[in-house]
């Protein structure tokens, strides 16, 4: 009888296989986000969140968005944090969408996942989070097998560079889109009155 092993024997990590892990974690992030977006938020909580968002949006720039997203993302590279932190982050983002859609009539019939998949910055952030979460999983797998993480240093450094680039471009683009929306007369404050 063979001993139970939670992870299969090591196969060489090809680019195709690595991309497959990223896609799996994109799916997990998306599911958690969708579940969060389906939760009902009270009108009082939604209004409070909208006021808070409006205050933050006035003072935030692309670098601020980048810094915020990078702090969330870097934690996802830590082995073991991936499942908890990544899923909590995606769930809370979905919950925020639920709050916004409960107040903003334009968002009522808008699919929550469309924000992730149809906005360039949403896709960049989703891809960056999925890279970090999948790398964390791969490091957990190595630790479980009692293998050295020294071989992970180069791939992690490369992936952190990719993540930083994605989040920087995404943050600048998101800030531009927020600024454009506010200049176009789309104001969360007006909706709260």
User: What average pLDDT does the segment 37-59 reach?
Assistant: 81
pLDDT digits (tens, 9 = 90+) for 114-167: 888 988 999 999 999 999 999 998 888 888 888 887 888 899 999 999 999 999
Q: Which band of pLDDT confidence, cut at 50, 70 and 90, is reported for residue 190?
A: very low
pTM of the entire predicted model: 0.81
Segment 90-121, tens digit of pLDDT: 998 898 888 888 887 777 778 889 888 988 99
Q: Where are the alpha helices (DSSP H) in 38-119?
A: 43-59, 62-76, 81, 87-103, 112-118
For the residues 50-60, what does the mean pLDDT come to?
A: 74
Q: Where are the domains of the chain?
A: 15-192
The closest alpha carbon to 17, from 181, 103, 134, 102, belongs to 134
């Amino acid at each position: 009888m063979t001993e139970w092993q939670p992870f299969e024997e090591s196969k060489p990590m090809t680019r195709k296989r690595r991309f497959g892990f990223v896609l799996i974690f994109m799916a997990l992030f998306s599911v958690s986000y969708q579940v969060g977006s389906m939760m009902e938020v009270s009108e009082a909580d939604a209004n409070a969140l909208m006021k808070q968002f409006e205050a933050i949006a006035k003072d935030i720039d692309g670098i601020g968005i980048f810094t915020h997203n990078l702090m969330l993302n870097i934690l996802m590279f830590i082995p073991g944090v991936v499942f908890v932190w990544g899923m909590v982050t995606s769930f809370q983002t979905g919950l925020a969408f639920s709050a916004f859609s409960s107040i903003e009539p334009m968002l009522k019939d808008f699919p929550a996942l469309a924000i992730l998949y149809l906005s360039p910055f949403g896709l960049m952030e989703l891809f960056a989070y999925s890279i970090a979460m999948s790398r964390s999983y791969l490091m957990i797998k190595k630790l479980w097998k009692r293998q050295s993480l020294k071989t992970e240093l180069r791939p992690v450094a490369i992936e952190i560079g990719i993540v930083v680039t994605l989040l920087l471009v995404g943050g600048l683009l998101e800030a531009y889109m927020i600024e454009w929306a506010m200049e176009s007369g789309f104001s969360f404050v007006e909706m709260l009155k």
